[in-house]
Amino acid sequence: MSRSKQNDRETLFLEAIAAPEINLKQIRKLCSRGVVETCGIRAVCWRLLLYCLPTKRSLWQQELTRQRSEYNQFVQEIIVEPGLKRFNTGNAESSFEDHPLNPNPKSEWNSYFKDNELLLQIDKDVRRLCPDISFFQNATKYPCEDLTSTESKVETLRKRVERTALNSQSLTRKRLGISNVSCYYYLISSRKQASHEYQVLMEAGQEAHWEVVERILFIYSKLNPGTSYVQGMNEIIGPLYYTLASDPNMDWREHAEADTFFCFTNLMAEIRDNFIKSLDTSASGIEGSMNKALCLLRETDPQVWLLLEKQGIKPQFFLFRWLTLLLSQEFNLPDVIHIWDVLFSDERRFTLLTAVCCAMIVLLREQLLINDFSHNMKLLQNYPMHIGIPTIIDKANKINKSMK
Amino acid sequence: GIIATMTEQRKEYLFKVLVIGELGVGKTSVIKRYVHQIFSQHYRATIGVDFALKVVHWDGETLIRLQLWDIAGQERFGNMTRVYYREAVGAFIVFDATRASTFEAVNKWKNDLDNKVTLPDGRNIPTVLLGNKIDQMRGGLLSNKQQMDNYCDEKGFVAWFETSAKANINIDEAAKYLIDKILDNERSYSRNLPDPEALELNKDDDEKSGCCR
C-alpha cells in the first residue's frame, strides 16, 4: 500500500474513533482490512470491537475510570489482602505445610493451597508466552506498586509460586515417612531453594510483563470458578496484553493491565465454551466448531476434505488448536494481531474464523494432495510462513461469499 | 498401525509413539531434544497435540519412521485423548522428578492409556516411564532403584529412566529401549498374524512375512 493511501486510511481511522457517536459498523469495516499501525489506533479499535468502550465518546472517561478502579479492587481483594494476611502469619511455616491434610474442605488453608496449584499452572504457561520475542520477559514500566514496593508487606504471587514449588517437595518427604502408599516410591531430593524454573530475574521494584499477565489470569480464574484457568487462555490474553501494553499513547498504556482484563473477560465470554471440557460435545463446544469448519471444507473443496478423511487426519489434530486459540499459535505475533483485526471485525463472531480455517486448508491443497499422512500433519501443524495473511483473508472472504 | 515394507534387503517401519504426562513435566522438551537435538527453557504450552517425525536408522537393514505424538497434559484435553491414542504402538509417560504431584499422576495416565489403546492382540502397548528434569536434582539421583523397579513391574511399565532433556541424559537410551520393545512386538505379529492393514497398504510386495528373520 502506498504511503499516501496509508495516510488516508490513518485519517479515516482517526476520524472514526474521534466521532462523538462511534459508528461501530464503520469501525468494523475499516478493521476488516487490518488496522493501521500508528497512533495507538489498534488498541482503541480492539477495545471498541470487544465492547469495552461505549460508543458515546463522552462516556469513555467515566467508563474507563469505573473499570480501572473495579480492577484495582479485584487486585486488592484477591491478591493484596490475602497476601498481607499470609505475610503476617508467614513465620509459622510448618503449620501451613501440613494443612492440606485438614479434613475440613471449607478451611481457609485448603482453598489457599488449591489456589496455589492453580497459580503454579498459570505460572508455567505465562513464562513461556511468545518465547520467540523478548517482550514478555522485559520489565513493565507500570508494575503494581502495592506488591513490588520495598515496604510492601504482601506475599506476592511470585513468592507464592516459589513457596508452592518448595512445599510440594518437602511435603512429599514428609508423606514418605508416614505412608506406604505405592505412589510415593519416588524420593525427592531435599533442597532449600525452589528450582531455577521458578526464579524471577527482575530487579527490586520491577515486574516482568509475563508477571502482569499472570496476575490478570489469576484474578480472572478466581472470579470465574466455572471455567477457572485452562491452558490456551494464556495464548488468548498474550496478543491482547501485548497490543495494549505497547500502545504508543502513554495515557492508555499506563492502564494496559486493567484494560486487558476487561478485553480478555469480554472475549472469553464469547469463546469460553471452547475451553470447557464438559461442553466439548455440545453445539456451542469445540466439537461443534470443528464440525462447522469441516462441513465448510467439504462444500468448498470436497477433494481435500476426502483426503483428510482418507488419511485419518482428524480435526482434533490441528483444527482444535486453530479454533481454540483463534490461530494465535499458528503465526508470528504481528500476523496474529493482523488476523485478529479481521476476526474481531466480524459482526457475527466468530463465523469468519470458520472460513479462515477453511481457507488455510484450501490454500495448501496442492501439497496436501501429494503428501502422505506424516507430512500433511507437519504441514497443518506448522503453517507455511510464505502464505501471507492477506491471501488467507481474501480466500476466506471468497469462501464466505460463495456460501451466502 | 504398523506398516512394514521391504525394499530389497531394507526393512521400513512406521511406529506411532505417544508422549504423555502432567502439564509442564517437559514432554515437548524431551521430543525436541530427541528429534532436533536442541533444548530451550521455554516451549509454548501444547494445546491439543503436537506431531513430530523422526527417522531412525536402526541397523544396516532397518529404517524406522517414528511418529511422536506430544499430547497436552492438562485435564481439559481429556476428551481428545482417545482420538490421539488410536493405533499407537508405544508410549512414554513423563513426570517431573522434582515435583512429586506429577509422579502421583503417573498411575492415572497409565490407566487412561491402557483403557483407550491396546495392541492388535489385546495386550497393553509397551510403555516406558521417564523421570525428567534430573539435572535439577541436587545431590545426584536419589530415587530408590529397587522401589522404582517394583513400581514399574506392578504398574506394567517395561522400563523406567531418569532423564534430562536439558542436559541430554538418557533420552536416546530410553527411545532405543522402547523401539526395541516395539520391534519385538512387531516381529512376533509378523510371525503369527500378519498385520492386515500393512498387507493392504503394501499390495505390491506382500512378501512381508517372508522377510522377517
Do A97 and A39 lie in one domain? The reply is no
Contact (CB, 8 A) for A33 and A344: no
Question: Is residue A194 one of the residues assigned to a domain?
Answer: yes
Beta strand pairing status for B49-59 and B62-71? Answer: antiparallel
Is A329 within the bounds of a domain? Answer: yes
Maximum C-alpha span of chain A: 76
In a domain, residue A25? The reply is yes
Co-location of A379 and A235 in the same domain: no
Q: d(Cα A285, Cα A278) in Å, to the nearest integer?
A: 9
Q: Are residues A170 and A314 in the same domain?
A: no
Cβ <8 Å between B47 and A280: no
Handedness of CA A326, A319, A229, B133 (dihedral sign): negative
d(CA B3, CA B203): 12
Residue of chain A whose Cα is closest to the Cα of B147: A185
Q: Look up residue B75 and give its three cell numbers.
A: 485435564
The shortest CB-CB distance from A374 to any of B67, B83, B99 is to: B67
Nearest CA in chain B to A325: B47
The CATH code for residues B11-137+144-187 is 3.40.50.300
Extract the runs of DSSP E, i.e. beta strands, from chain B.
3-7, 10-21, 49-59, 62-71, 90-96, 127-132, 159-162
Is A121 in Cβ contact with B40 (below 8 Å)?
Answer: no
User: Of A244, A270, A296, which closes a domain?
Assistant: A270
Tell me if A195 and B136 make a contact (CB, 8 A cut-off).
Answer: yes
Question: Are the C-beta atoms of B88 and B37 separated by less than 8 Å?
Answer: no
Residues 67-106 of chain B with CB under 8 A from chain A are 67, 72, 74-80, 83-84, 95, 97-101, 103-104, 106
- Can you tell me the distance from the alpha carbon of B90 to that of B182, in angstroms, rounded to the nearest whole number? 7
CB A207 within 8 A of CB A157: no
Cell 496478543 belongs to which residue? A239
pLDDT tens string A156-204: 888 888 877 776 655 444 444 433 333 334 444 444 444 566 767 777 7
Q: What pLDDT does A203 receive?
A: 77
**Model pLDDT for residues A243-282, shown as the tens digit of each residue:** 999 999 999 999 999 999 999 999 999 999 999 999 988 8
Q: Are residues A263 and A139 in the same domain?
A: yes
Number of domains observed in the structure of chain A: 3
Residues from chain B that touch A280, judged by Cβ atoms under 8 A, are 79
Mean pLDDT in consecutive groups of 10 residues from the start of chain B, 213 residues: 59 96 94 94 90 94 95 89 95 92 93 95 96 77 76 95 95 97 87 53 40 33
Domain-located, residue A67:
no
**Touching check for B154 and chain A: CB below 8 Å?**
yes
Quick one: what percent of chain A has pLDDT higher than 70? Answer: 85
Instruction: Establish if A227 belongs to a structural domain.
Output: yes
Residue A65, in any domain of the structure: no
Specify whether A224 is located in the same domain as A369: no
pLDDT of A102 reads: 53
Q: What share of chain A is helix, strand, coil (3-state, %, to 5)?
A: 65, 0, 30
Residue A117 has a pLDDT of 87
Rounded to a whole number of angstroms, the distance from the CA of A355 to the nearest CA of chain B is 21
Chain A CB within 8 Å of residue B62 CB: no
Query: Domain residue spans in chain B?
Result: 11-137+144-187
> Which pLDDT tens digit goes with each residue over A135-151?
999 999 999 888 888 77
In the prediction, which pLDDT does B202 show? Answer: 43
B-chain CB neighbours of A271 within 8 Å are: none
CATH for A298: 1.10.472.80
Probe site for chain A from B80, B87, B135 (most A CB atoms < 10 A):
B80
Which one of A190, A195, A377 has the shortest CB-CB distance to B51? A377
Residues A213, A175 share a domain: yes
How far is the C-alpha of A340 from the C-alpha of A240, rounded, in Å?
10
CA distance A6 to chain B (A): 35
Is B134 within 8 Å of B171 (Cβ atoms)? no
Nearest Cα residue in chain B from A188: B98
| Separation in Å, CA B165 to CA A242, B27, B36, B48 | 30, 9, 11, 21
Distance, in angstroms, between A381 CA and closest chain B CA?
A: 7
Q: Which of A235, A270, A305 is the last residue of a domain?
A: A270
How do residues B15-54 score in pLDDT, each as one tens digit?
999 999 999 899 999 999 999 999 988 888 899 999 999 9
Shared domain check, A45 and A14: yes
Task: For chain A, list residues with pLDDT below 70.
Answer: 1-2, 87, 89-107, 167-197, 199, 404
Domain that holds residue A177: 79-270
Question: Is A395 within the bounds of a domain?
Answer: yes
Which residues of chain A have a CB within 8 Å of the CB of B46?
Answer: 231
Q: Is the dihedral of CA A360, A361, A365, A371 positive or negative?
A: positive
Domain co-membership, A154 together with A245: yes
Same domain, A251 and A288: no
Query: Quick one: A321 and A256 in the same domain?
Result: no
Choose from B36, B77, B84, B151 for mutation: most chain A CBs within 10 A.
Answer: B77
